[in-house]
C-alpha cells in the first residue's frame, strides 16, 4: 500500500514516479483530497470525543438530580449525537480513501526504466549460449506426448483445459527438479518451509492480490478461503501483524507448493502445452529484511535463481522490467527468461521482486529497531516455476531421435 503521507508531503514526486506505472495524476489528486477530507473529519471527531471524556468525569462530583447535572446530561446527549454523525463521516471518508488507495500500485525504484510493455525491458545479462540444433527442434508438448510424459486429454478430462497429467519419467523429473531446487536454495541460506496452499482474504490483501485481482483466484465456495496463486502469499503473511526482533533479520525462506491461477484474461495465449496452467508447482523464495538491506538481497535472490539455471545448463537472460511491465506490488523486478528453441525466444521462468514496504504496510509486518518499530521490506522470487523448467529441459535437451537427455546435475535426484 502506498504511504498516503507521500501524497501530502511530496505530491509531485509521487505523481512523477507513478507515471511509470501508468497511474494518472488526476487519480492521485483525488486520492490526496480524500486523504485531507478524512483527516479533517478525524480531527473534529477527536475534539468531540475529548469533550465527552472530559465532561463525563464530572458525574462523580456533582450531586444527584442537581440542576447542573441535568444540564450536563442534556449537553452530553447533544454532543453524543455529534460524535455519532462525525463517526459516520470519518467512516465513509475512510472507506472512500481506502477503496482507492488499495488499488494504487507500488511506487518504483529510481533505477526502474520508463516503458509500456515487455519490449521496453532492459537486458542486464545473457548467460550460456543457446545450443545450435542440426534438426528442427520440437515444441515441448510434442515431445511430451511422444515420450508419454504429458497427457493433456486426461488432464482436461479430470478437471478442464489447462490441467495436465504428467507421467513416467516426466513426473519423476518434476519431483527431481523440486528436490534439486530446494537443496540449491538452502545452500543460498533459504530455510525450507511448508505452508498452507489455501489462504484467507486477509493474507491475500497483505501481499496485494486482493482486492484488485480477485478474478484471477480460485475461491472456495462459501468460505473466506482461496487457493494460493503463489506461496509468496502464505510465506510472506507468516509474519503479518507481527513485530520481528531485528536480530532475526533477514528472514529467508523457500517453499514448494502447487499454485492455482484462473488465468482470466490470458485469452488464447500459450494454450498448448504446460507453459500456462491453472495448476503448477513453483519453488518460491521470500525474504523479509531491514529497509536498508532489501536492495542487496534482491541481487542475491536473482543470483540464486540464475545460478540454478546455469547448473541445469539452461541458457537464460536477466531482464530489468520497465514500469509498464511490472506487477502491482513491485518496486523493482528482474525477470529471468529461459531459452526455448521451439519458439526461438526467451520466455519468463522466474520473476524476482523487491516490494519495499508496500506489502509490509498492508500486512503490518514490522521489526523493532532500537526504540522504533519500522516497516519491514519484503521480497519474493520464483526460484523457478517447476513446470516451465521442465519445458525448458525438454526442449533444450531434446535429441534428434526425439528422446530427451537428463541434465547431469539431476541424475542423482532421479
* Residues contributing to the site for RNA (CB under 7 A): 5, 39, 42-43, 45-46, 49-50, 52-57, 59-60, 73, 76-77, 80, 243, 366, 373
Helix (H, G, I), strand (E, B) or coil at 66: coil
Which of these is catalytic: 162, 331, 362, 388?
A: 388
Closest to RNA by CB, 85 vs 263, is 85
Q: How far is the CB of 305 from RNA (least distance, A)?
A: 31
Q: How far is the CB of 87 from RNA (least distance, A)?
A: 9
Q: How far is the CB of 49 from RNA (least distance, A)?
A: 4
Summary count for the chain: helices (H), strands (E): 12, 15
Active site residue 261: yes
Closest to RNA by CB, 45 vs 312, is 45
Closest to RNA by CB, 59 vs 135, is 59
Q: How far is the CB of 72 from RNA (least distance, A)?
A: 8
Active site residue 351: yes
Closest to RNA by CB, 55 vs 311, is 55
Please count the other Cβ atoms lying within 10 Å of the Cβ belonging to residue 51.
15
Interatomic CA distance for residues 157 and 323, integer angstroms: 40
CA angle 159, 149, 264 (to 5 degrees): 35
In sequence order, the 6+-apart residues with CB closer than 8 A to the CB of 12 are none
Q: How far is the CB of 169 from RNA (least distance, A)?
A: 28
Which of these is catalytic: 261, 317, 331, 362?
A: 261
Interatomic CA distance for residues 235 and 139, integer angstroms: 34
Closest to RNA by CB, 46 vs 183, is 46
Q: How far is the CB of 214 from RNA (least distance, A)?
A: 20
In sequence order, the 6+-apart residues with CB closer than 8 A to the CB of 247 are none
Per-residue DSSP letters for 107-131?
P--TTPPP-SSGGG-EEEEEESPPP
Q: How far is the CB of 96 from RNA (least distance, A)?
A: 16
Interatomic CA distance for residues 138 and 143, integer angstroms: 7
Which of these is catalytic: 276, 303, 307, 347?
A: 276
Contact 229, 261 (CB under 8 A): yes
Please count the other Cβ atoms lying within 10 Å of the Cβ belonging to residue 50.
10
Which of these is catalytic: 203, 306, 342, 351?
A: 351
Beta bridge partners of 366: 243, 375
Alpha helices in 345-385 (DSSP H): 358-363
Interatomic CA distance for residues 342 and 131, integer angstroms: 12
Closest to RNA by CB, 317 vs 362, is 362
Calculate the dihedral angle through the C-alpha atoms of 202, 375, 35, 97, rounding to the nearest 10 degrees. Answer: -10
Interatomic CA distance for residues 21 and 29, integer angstroms: 16
Contact 217, 198 (CB under 8 A): no
Contact 204, 226 (CB under 8 A): yes
Q: How far is the CB of 279 from RNA (least distance, A)?
A: 20
Active site residue 276: yes
Closest to RNA by CB, 276 vs 368, is 368
Closest to RNA by CB, 39 vs 138, is 39
In sequence order, the 6+-apart residues with CB closer than 8 A to the CB of 85 are none
Which residues belong to the active site? 261, 276, 348, 351, 388
Amino acid at each position: 500500500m502506498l504511504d498516503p503521507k507521500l501524497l501530502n508531503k511530496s505530491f509531485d514526486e509521487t505523481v512523477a514516479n507513478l507515471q511509470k506505472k501508468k497511474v494518472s495524476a488526476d487519480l492521485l489528486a483525488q486520492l490526496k483530497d480524500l486523504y485531507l477530507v478524512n483527516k479533517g473529519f478525524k480531527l473534529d471527531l477527536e475534539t468531540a470525543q475529548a469533550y465527552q471524556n472530559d465532561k463525563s468525569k464530572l458525574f462523580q462530583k456533582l450531586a444527584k438530580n442537581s440542576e447542573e447535572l441535568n444540564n450536563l446530561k442534556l449537553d452530553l446527549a447533544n454532543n453524543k449525537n455529534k460524535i455519532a454523525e462525525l463517526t459516520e463521516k470519518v467512516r465513509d471518508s475512510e472507506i472512500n480513501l481506502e477503496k482507492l488507495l488499495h488499488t494504487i500500485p507500488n511506487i518504483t525504484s529510481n533505477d526502474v526504466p520508463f516503458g509500456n510493455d515487455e519490449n521496453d525491458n532492459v537486458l542486464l545479462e545473457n548467460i550460456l549460449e543457446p545450443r545450435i540444433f542440426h534438426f528442427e527442434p520440437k515444441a515441448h508438448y510434442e515431445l511430451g506426448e511422444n515420450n508419454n510424459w504429458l497427457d493433456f486429454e486426461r488432464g482436461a478430462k479430470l478437471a478442464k483445459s489447462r490441467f495436465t497429467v504428467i507421467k513416467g519419467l516426466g513426473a519423476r523429473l518434476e519431483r527431481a527438479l523440486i528436490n534439486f531446487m530446494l537443496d540449491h536454495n538452502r545452500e543460498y541460506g533459504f530455510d525450507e518451509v511448508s505452508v498452507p496452499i489455501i489462504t484467507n482474504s486477509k493474507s491475500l490483501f497483505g501481499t496485494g492480490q486482493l482486492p484488485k485481482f480477485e478474478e484471477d483466484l480460485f475461491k472456495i465456495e462459501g468460505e473466506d478461503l482461496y487457493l494460493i496463486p503463489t506461496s509468496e502469499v502464505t510465506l510472506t503473511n507468516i509474519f503479518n501483524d507481527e513485530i520481528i526482533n531485528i536480530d532475526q533479520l533477514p528472514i529467508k525462506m523457500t517453499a514448494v507448493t502447487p499454485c492455482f491461477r484462473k488465468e482470466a484474461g490470458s485469452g488464447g495465449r500459450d494454450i498448448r502445452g504446460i507453459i500456462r496452467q491453472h495448476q503448477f508447482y513453483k519453488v518460491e523464495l521470500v525474504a523479509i529484511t531491514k529497509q536498508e538491506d532489501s536492495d542487496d538481497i534482491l541481487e542475491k535472490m536473482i543470483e540464486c535463481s540464475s545460478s540454478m539455471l546455469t547448473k541445469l545448463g539452461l541458457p537464460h537472460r536477466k531482464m530489468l522490467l520497465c514500469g509498464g511491465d511490472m506487477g502491482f506490488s513491485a518496486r523493482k523486478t528482474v525477470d529471468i527468461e529461459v531459452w526455448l528453441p521451439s519458439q526461438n525466444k526467451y520466455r519468463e521462468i522466474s520473476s524476482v521482486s523487491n516490494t519495499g514496504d508496500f506489502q509490509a504496510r498492508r500486512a503490518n509486518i514490522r521489526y523493532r529497531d532500537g526504540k522504533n518499530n519500522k516497516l519491514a521490506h519484503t521480497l519474493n522470487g520464483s526460484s523457478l516455476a517447476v513446470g516451465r523448467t521442465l519445458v525448458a529441459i525438454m526442449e533444450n535437451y531434446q535429441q534428434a531421435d526425439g528422446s530427451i537427455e537428463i541434465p547431469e546435475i539431476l541424475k542423482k535426484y532421479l
